[in-house]
Amino acid sequence: MKKLLVAILSVSALLASVVQAESNNPGGIGGVESLRGSSQLEETRPADAFKKYPREQVLESSYVYQPPLVPHNIRSYEVSLNANKCLACHSWKNAKEMGATKISVTHYVNREDAVLADVSPRRYFCLQCHVPQANAQPLVDNKFKSVDALK
């Protein structure tokens, strides 16, 4: 009985400290900050400014096997189960007429190395690998240096 009473008192003391901590920061983030800074849950912080994308530039690769970066804005592009705006210009069928780069033949191969007539389902969601290059500052320090052979 004595052990049960000690356990109940310990739990109640712990709960009291949690309630006290939350009363100092109700609905807050508990002192945790993200890479974008801290904000309270009850406050709405202003949206970040839209990034500026370079138009019609040749974007150099930074490392071997890097997916090519997108040299244009893709803000209104739909890439979903029902549609893929990227394929309107970059598919093998449309690339020449649109003056766009054809997607790689590797995008037509499935996991069993069978060549498909259309883009492989595992390569259909382009924006998982290909991103537009923006003039955004890195969120953390980055000392990455490109391979000299790629310059």
Among the listed residues 125, 141, 132, 142, the one whose alpha carbon sits nearest the alpha carbon of residue 50: 132
Is 130 marked within a binding site? yes
102 belongs to an annotated ligand binding site: no
Distant-in-sequence contacts of 2-10, Cβ < 8 A, 24+ apart: none
Q: Is 89 annotated as a binding residue?
A: yes
Residue 142 among known ligand-binding residues: no
Q: Is 150 annotated as a binding residue?
A: no
Is residue 82 marked as binding?
no
Is 86 part of any known ligand binding site?
yes
Binding residues for heme c: 72, 86, 89-90, 107, 126, 129-130
Bind-site residues: 72, 86, 89-90, 107, 126, 129-130
